[in-house]
Chains A and B, each alone.
Chain A
């Protein structure tokens, strides 16, 4: 139904065709010869990989980009609950950094950052392997770190909230768990990585227990209630997994016994488990506080969401879960933020303003995700954000907020299309 055509629309909009950007014009505008600069990206998860890729892509390969990460590959948290229940293999969620090197010329160094000197115009990034990298801009994308809980040993009590060996550890423990056994998990205080994630995990585990003939899944939530898709998850807990899932909000954890698998709470007694999954409350990656950068809520990097540049520290940017913004923490959102950051760095290099009306009025991010509810059905959740100039923050757009009414096999199939494209847009 092509009842609208380009000419009609232009007429209606009152915009001239000259203002319309074609890809060739966009390329010319970017490749203006003044983009030579060096950027070091620390961390290569969803945020780090996306910013590295897009800095190369959008500068016509003029910007020199070096990624530093202690691992040759990133294991995605997105879809990792399906590795726990063995519907996916680890290799399905593992992405080699060599791909961004081969395809876009992103340099990769396998190491960690010990310190940085960001005071001088030519910044220094000191690596554990003894190397010192010189650069003009630094992007930190270190993911999350966890609060300490007395007695907690993650080699015995996995969090499985940073994917990789921890995912495997939880999977092995779930292989060994028997019908009738008790699984206990704790949900961190918001904001944490992937808002629906812990409730999704409770469903995936409850589905596994159901197939083993029953058992208990005790969900200890530090929040006062299910923080997203409340209707969907509370129905799943009480109906699909009625008699298996026991959900308890407002939990305060006192300590954990990692050998006997007991969670001691301040307000609900103690919970003994056969498999225990404690996900502590999060904060920014350790490097943020180690380097003494300003934080918000004493936990997250204090950034300006029009660029993700640290407030009070020029030319150092923090993207992804470590950044403190009004947006949810997720792989999809980290990808979204990283593109704004890449665009901001490119404009800074070209001496173009970041706060022009044409840019601020069109700064958007979005979040979308699918969560399995059973081994054949899933739900979805989505939100769009736009920069609000009065409040100087990214603000959710009410009409764009939505969630599935029902968990469905079609959503389960769409979940694979979504993750494939997200992985491609980030790591390939």
Chain B
């Protein structure tokens, strides 16, 4: 563990030396740019960072927790989707993203109940889909009877 921490400190300091040569002030993101940058996490983690399903919720986690977790994934070689995604960002960008979500409110009660409901839906989807679907299909057909389908719009 200690060796690993040391390596990370060294690599971070090294990257910051490079970073400082790139004129930090010019590329330091404005608040709107931080919002845009952070919004690119929301496809998988939800508009408010309160995530549905089994992916980690990120809103309201402490800054330290988010930053360390993201930097760990940034540094390792694991072939997992989030570990690959985070490698698309610089350490500076990760710092701003962690700060952004650490400052969003965690919607703890709603999140839990929503997750339970979602899990139930999954089971229904996978096991009893036939009954459910027949009913829905009848509705669908009525709605879509006269729709054209050649194009999206």
Chain A interface (Cβ < 8 Å from any Cβ of B):
1-6, 9, 12-15, 19-23, 25-26, 29-30, 42-45, 48, 54, 57-58, 68-73, 86-92, 94, 112, 141-146, 154, 162, 164-166, 168, 285-287, 332, 335-336, 339-340, 343, 346-347, 356-359, 361-366, 368, 380, 382-386, 397, 399-402, 404-405, 413-414, 416-418, 420-422, 424-425, 428
**Residues in B whose Cβ lies below 8 Å from that of A4:** 64, 67-68, 71
Total inter-chain residue pairs, C-beta < 8 Å: 257
A362 touches B53 (CB 8 A): no
**Residues in A whose Cβ lies below 8 Å from that of B67:** 4, 6, 9
Smallest Cβ distance from A76 to chain B, in angstroms? 11
A386 touches B147 (CB 8 A): no
Smallest Cβ distance from B63 to chain A, in angstroms? 5
Q: At the interface, yes or no: B132 with Cβ under 8 Å from chain A?
A: yes
Give Cα A45–Cα B65 distance, bound, in whole angstroms: 35
Q: Which residue of B lies closest to A145 (CB)?
A: B151
Smallest Cβ distance from A420 to chain B, in angstroms? 4
A340 touches B36 (CB 8 A): yes
**Residues in A whose Cβ lies below 8 Å from that of B89:** 364, 384
Taking a contact as CB atoms closer than 8 A, the residue among A3, A88, A162, A286 that contacts B68 in the complex is A3
Interface digits, B31-61 against A, CB 8 Å rule (1 contact, 0 not)? 1111111011011111100011111000000
B93 touches A362 (CB 8 A): yes
Beyond the given pairs A162-B152, A358-B27, 5 more chain A to chain B contacts, judged by CB atoms under 8 angstroms and listed by A's residue number, are A21-B31, A144-B151, A164-B149, A339-B36, A421-B44
Give Cα A154–Cα B138 distance, bound, in whole angstroms: 22
B28 touches A15 (CB 8 A): yes
**Residues in A whose Cβ lies below 8 Å from that of B130:** 86
Taking a contact as CB atoms closer than 8 A, the residue among A44, A89, A144, A362 that contacts B33 in the complex is A362
Smallest Cβ distance from B3 to chain A, in angstroms? 13
B31 touches A382 (CB 8 A): no
Chain B interface (Cβ < 8 Å from any Cβ of A):
1, 5, 12-13, 16, 19-20, 24, 26-37, 39-40, 42-47, 51-55, 63-65, 67-68, 71-72, 79, 81, 83-89, 92-93, 95-96, 99-100, 103-104, 118, 122, 125-126, 129-130, 132-133, 136-137, 139-141, 143-144, 147-153
**Residues in A whose Cβ lies below 8 Å from that of B51:** 417, 421
Give Cα A385–Cα B84 distance, bound, in whole angstroms: 12
**Residues in A whose Cβ lies below 8 Å from that of B151:** 142-145, 162, 285-286
A14 touches B26 (CB 8 A): no
- Given A335-B43, A339-B39, residue A154 in contact with residue B152 (CB < 8 A): no
B95 touches A9 (CB 8 A): yes
A343 touches B36 (CB 8 A): yes
B29 touches A91 (CB 8 A): no
**Residues in B whose Cβ lies below 8 Å from that of A405:** 79
- Given A13-B16, A23-B104, residue A384 in contact with residue B88 (CB < 8 A): yes
Taking a contact as CB atoms closer than 8 A, the residue among A72, A91, A143, A343 that contacts B136 in the complex is A91
A366 touches B153 (CB 8 A): no
- Given A336-B40, A358-B33, residue A143 in contact with residue B27 (CB < 8 A): no
**Residues in B whose Cβ lies below 8 Å from that of A42:** 153
Chosen A-B contacts, 30 in total, with CB atoms closer than 8 Å, are A1-B72, A13-B19, A26-B31, A43-B153, A48-B153, A68-B153, A87-B125, A112-B153, A145-B151, A154-B149, A154-B150, A164-B144, A165-B147, A168-B140, A168-B141, A285-B151, A285-B153, A336-B43, A346-B32, A358-B27, A359-B29, A359-B36, A361-B29, A368-B43, A417-B55, A418-B55, A420-B118, A421-B46, A421-B52, A425-B47
